[in-house]
Structure 1
Amino acid sequence: MASPPVHDRSKPEDEEDPVDRMILRSGCGEQHYALQDCMAEHQDWRLCQKNVQTFINCMSSFQQARKEQLLKKLKETQFHQSPVTPAMPYLRTTRNNTDVIHPPGFYIIGFQTLPLISVYFIFLAFVYAITVIFNCLVIYVIIFNNALHSPKFLAVVNLAVIDLILNSSIIPRMIKIFLAKDNFIPFNLCLVQMYFYYTMSSLESYALAILAYDRLVAICFPMRHNSLNTMKVMTCIVAVTWSVTLAVVSFSTGIMTWLSFCKSVRVFSYFCDYTPTYRLSCNDYSIHFYTASSLAIFLLVVPFLFILGTYFSIIITVFSMKSVDKRVKALTTCVEHVILVAIFYIPLLVIYILGLFFGGIDPDHRVLGLSMASCIPPCLNPIIYTLKTKEIKVRLVAFVRKWKIGTAGI
């Protein structure tokens, strides 16, 4: 009976048989060569059944160990991405006779190269506590004091409510993602966070524009203030800004469901950011690009230009006043608003200008700057209005004294 070819173990190392190399790597070389020797000696594989079985068992053990090793490595990778998220299938729907594939969710992966970033999120926890306490105080003081029921303080309450919702939609989730290391966010929750963040950010810019309108009427049209800026007018302005913004952001967020995500699900940002998310899709997202660009102009640039025009008119009016005291008094009433505008717009302008003209800004530094520009203003706004607005400060002090007296009585 013809014998199979026997591997020659005397070959030079540079001519090593690839089969021999694979077998040696498996750790079954000894069994392999024992089988080869048996075959060479007896010239009949039936007389080498014991050696054949030993070699088969060794190779089976190697393959099983290799399989377990690969499964363990895969599980460790999934655990590193999201230690608490079970594996879920992609969701498939149909739109215009086309399949739309939605992932179970996304992984937020910002701040990868920054050292001691956990300190930043501990700081954000403090920022969130200050945001909640001071904005609630401002809302409480204004609502429960009839003397502050005026158009200006309605606009201040509007800003405080927006600040409270804005930081509540972003900071707790950031702490969970980056401090608790749970960076998975379900698809629908991602859209909800995206909706609230962009709605409140847009309303923040319009709230600053509304406060600029209040200063414009008070300084430039003092004789018509009671007709141009009444509670009814201010309520209508606030209601219109909320209605338009809610509708526009609902559309921009809703069209995210048109996209299929069959590539990566890793969003490089500090939350479910609109642009980094739609760029992960595997179909045409040109409508999303134009929508994002249009909304940036309509919801951020337009209010900013209105504020600049307002202060241009205020400066002209102020410098036309003959009395220096009147000039100083008029400008003093604008100080807190100018500070609010500065801390909201300047960081955004600096980051986008650096990215546009220099292009070399580190992605992690950009994400850090944008997160600070989003989270810090809602914390500082109520503090600035409390310290710089006499009416609020006086009533807040009275409220604290009353609370202390009540506590002492208990």
Structure 2
Amino acid sequence: MSPTNRAARSSAKLVANGESGGPPSVSGEPAEAASKRPASGDRPRYWRQGLDVEARRIAMVVYPGITALDTVGPLEVFATANLIASLIGRKPLYDLQVIASHDRPVATSVGMSVNPSCKLEELVLPLDTLLVSGGLGQEEACKDAHLLQFLRSVSRRVRRLGSICTGAFPLAEAGLLDGKRATTHWALARDLEKRYPKVTVQVDRIFIRDGNVYTSAGVTAGIDLALALIEEDQGRAFALRCARSMVVPFKRAGGQAQFSLQLQAQFASTPAVQRVQEWAAENISGDLSVTTLAARAGTSERNFARLFREATGMTPAEFVERLRVDAARRLLENPAQRLESIATECGFGSADTLRRVFQKRVGVTPSQYRDRFSTA
């Protein structure tokens, strides 16, 4: 028996009790699986979805300097899905591989190394899903011509293409995000936007799907993305069971913010701009026009707009809109507060304006957001 299968069986009890165990086998069904198959009437809802289908092949691209959690986190979600499948008498749902430009161990940010399953050119196609891991090594990855050509070639032969955190940079460098909406770690979102103007970067999103291309925000957002992919494949009930087994929330959807805009104000490089941002956050229901903000800064509108963009990477109007949407998010988590009241408190003027701007920025309507994230 392989070490992977031993780990899967030893952790079966933990997962059955709702706790996360070790990685399951990704090749072959446990011998006892057939005897454990429940009768048709006893099968859970998620049994019928994907029953006995061939395992979906998923490959994670790694390179020196990857963040360990960007790689291991999403893969562990798929491994947990395999383990849960084995417990209900199903074959493995996912065949997982880690691939790199070479077959040597790849160093991660925490000192541990990842051993690739194979080199890029040895990957057997077709493939269901190709994911690119993130990490501070993305700059060198963007210079790896072999990797970029591989991504371009394989992208045409996969059902889903995606990235975790800064893995969006190699995808963008390969031209695979051109004309797409995408996200990445919030601290590098403006850099992605500047370097790749053909990409529509949406910094507020946990993950984004645009066609068959998926990008996730920073670090743990890769786990959210993996759960979303499992939900697509196996249904919500099965994905929820995976989340519970790993003791992670299944509530975060792509539209939830990855950080507060009031925290982003701290990253303004110019003190005068930061003071205006802080004042705006404290007076969100008032007049936050460029004229008002420029007067607050003691400079002309044109000069203020230039200084603001240099310091934050966005226009004053965009910042105010994001600030108000961020405030609306928090208020929407209280199911008792009416939408009209939230619109007034956040400076939108009307519920219709709130709905329009909120959906543009977040990707879901205020009502949909409240359904997902309400504290009730």
**Structure whose residues are more often strand by fraction:** 2
Task: Indicate the structure whose relative CO is greater, using CA pairs within 8 Å and at least 6 residues apart.
Answer: 1
Q: TM-score, length-normalised on structure 1?
A: 0.27
Q: TM-score, length-normalised on structure 2?
A: 0.29
Query: Which is higher, the Rg of structure 1 or of structure 2?
Result: 1
**Structure whose residues are more often helix by fraction:** 1
